[in-house]
Amino acid sequence: MPNILILGGTTEASALAVACAEGAIPTTLSYAGRTASPRTQPVAVRVGGFGGAVGLAAYLRRERITHLVDATHPFAARISANAVAAADTAGVPLVALTRPAWRAQAGDRWQRVPDVAGAVEALGGPPLRVMLAVGRMHVADFAARPQHAYLLRFVDRPEAPPALPRHHLVVDRGPFTVDGDRRLMEAHGIDLVVAKNAGGGGAAAKLHAARALGLPVVMIDRPPLPPRRELHDVATVLDWLDHGAERGV
Ligand code: 3Y8
Ligand code: NAP
C-alpha cells in the first residue's frame, strides 16, 4: 500500500494533494511552519522541521513512507538537498514536482541577478519606488538601500516593523491576479519590481502587471539544487506513483 509524503508549500503541492485525496492514496503534506495558518489540505498535514536530513530519513522509515515528492518552492534549497540525502539513506524513491523557471518575453525589461545580494547590489542608484515582492525572509538585506520607498508583501503581519525606513506593507497571500497586482503597482507609483524566479502561476501576476506597465524587473535566479528526478505536472507524478517508482525510472 503506497504511503506518500509531499514536501509542500506551493500551488503545485496543493494540487497534488487534491489528486492524491481523490485517488484515496494515503498521503501526508508537510509544511515548515513558516506561516501562521497554512492552507487547509484534503490530506493529513504535518508542520515543522524534521531535524535535518537525518531527521527526515528517520521520519521516512518510522512512517513507512513509500514515495517522497519534493514539491517545495525552487528557493527552498535546503529542504530539497535534505530530501535527496534522506531518500537515499532510507531507500525511498524521490521525485521533485517543480515548475520551469520563468523566461523573459517580448516587452519584458529584466535585469537578472544571481541571488538576493545581487538584487541589493542592483538597487544602488537614486531613490525609486520599489515593489519588493520576495516575502519576509530577506527584507533585512535591503536595509543597505534605504534610499528607496518599498512596497512589501508578506503572508503574515510581522511582530516588528520591517527595518526599512520608507516602506508600505501589504499583508496578503497568493495566488495573486494580474489586475490586482497592476492596480497595486499603479496605486503606489511603482518604478521597479524585485522578484524571485519562482516559476509557476501563483507568483507570476506581478510579472504580467510589470510588463503591461512597462516596468523594469530585477529577477533573482534560483539557487543551485542537487541533481534529482524532476517532473513538472501532477499527472506525471501520479503516473510515477503508480508505476514509475517500482520501475526505478
Ligand atoms: C508556508 C503555505 C498554496 C501555495 C501558495 C507558489 C504560490 C502563493 C506566491 C509575491 C510573491 C513568496 C512567498 C509566495 C508565493 C504561493 C504559494 C507562494 C511569494 C505560502 C505558504 C507558506 C509560504 C512561505 C512563504 C515564505 C516566502 C514565500 C511569500 C500557506 C503562502 C514571496 C516567494 O513570512 C514568511 O516567513 C514567509 C516565507 C517562504 C518567502 C520569503 O522569503 O518570505 N512563501 N508561502 C510554507 C511552509 O511553512 O512550509 O501558508 O498556505 C505558500 C505560497 N506562497 O498551497 O496555495 O506556489 O509559489 N510565497 C516568492 O515566490 O517570491 C509571494 O508577493 O508576489
Ligand atoms: P529551506 O530554507 O529549504 O528549509 C529550511 C528548513 O526548513 C529545512 O531544513 C527544514 O527544517 C524546514 N523545512 C522547509 N520546508 C519544509 C517542509 N515543507 N516541511 C518540513 N520542514 C520544512 O526552506 P524555506 O525556503 O524556508 O521554505 C520553507 C517552506 O516555504 C517550504 O515548504 C517552501 O516550499 C515554502 N515556500 C518557500 C518559498 C521561498 O521563497 N523560499 C516560497 C514559497 C513557499 P529541518 O532541517 O529541521 O528539517
Q: Show pLDDT as tens, one digit a residue, over the chain (249 residues).
A: 899 999 999 999 999 999 999 999 999 999 999 999 999 999 999 999 999 999 999 999 999 999 999 999 999 999 999 999 999 999 999 999 999 999 999 999 999 999 999 999 999 999 999 999 999 999 999 999 999 999 999 999 999 999 999 999 999 998 899 999 999 999 999 999 999 999 998 889 999 999 999 999 999 999 999 999 999 999 999 999 998 666 655
Per-residue pLDDT, 202? 86
Q: What does the pLDDT read at residue 249?
A: 53
Question: Cα separation of 48 and 59, whole Å?
Answer: 12
* Sign (positive or negative) of CA dihedral 64, 23, 81, 120: negative
Mark whether 33 and 62 lie in a shared domain.
yes
The count of domains in the chain is 2
Above pLDDT 70, what percent of the chain?
98
Instruction: Identify the domain containing residue 235 by its residue range.
Output: 4-100+224-247
State the closest ligand 2 atom to the C-alpha of 50, by its place in the atom list counted from 1.
48
Question: CA-to-CA distance for 150 and 168, rounded, in angstroms?
Answer: 6
93/217 Cα distance (integer angstroms): 38
Residue nearest to atom 20 of ligand 2 (CA): 32
Question: Does 105 map to a domain?
Answer: no
CA of 208 to the centre of ligand 2 (A): 27
Q: Considering Cα of 22, then 98, then 56, then 52, what sign does the dihedral take?
A: negative
Answer yes or no: is the C-beta of 77 below 6 A from any ligand 2 atom.
Answer: yes
What does the pLDDT read at residue 245?
Answer: 62
Predicted TM-score (pTM) of the model is 0.96
> Do 28 and 50 lie in a common domain?
yes
**Residues 117 and 204 grouped into a single domain:** yes
Q: Identify the residue whose C-alpha is closest to ligand 2 atom 14.
A: 32
Residue 185 sits at the vertex; the CA angle it makes with 37 and 216, to the nearest 5 degrees, is 110
Average pLDDT across the chain, whole number:
96
Least distant ligand from the CA of 134:
1
- Domain with residue 34: its CATH number is 3.40.50.720
> What pLDDT was estimated at residue 165?
94
Same domain, 74 and 119: no
Mark whether 191 and 234 lie in a shared domain.
no
* Atom 1 in ligand 2: residue holding the nearest Cα: 76
Please check whether residues 213 and 232 belong to one and the same domain: no
CA distances from 247 to 83, 146, 233, 239 (A): 20, 55, 19, 11
Please check whether residue 36 lies inside any domain of the structure.
Answer: yes
Q: Are residues 75 and 127 in the same domain?
A: no
116 and 216 share one domain: yes
157 C-alpha to ligand 2 centroid (Å): 19
**Cβ–ligand 2 contact at 49 (below 6 Å):** yes
State the pLDDT at residue 244: 63
CA distances from 45 to 8, 14, 38, 84, 117 (A): 10, 11, 10, 21, 34
pLDDT of residue 132: 97
CA proximity to 200, closest of 1, 7, 3, 14: 14
Q: What CATH number is attached to the domain comprising 162? A: 3.40.50
Q: Which of 41, 78, 80 to mutate to test the pocket of ligand 2 (most atoms within 8 A of CB)?
A: 78
Q: What ligand is nearest to the CA atom of residue 185?
A: 1
Same domain, 15 and 36: yes
Mark whether 115 and 82 lie in a shared domain. no
- In this structure, is residue 171 part of a structural domain? yes
Distance, CA of 136 to CA of 51 (rounded, Å) = 23
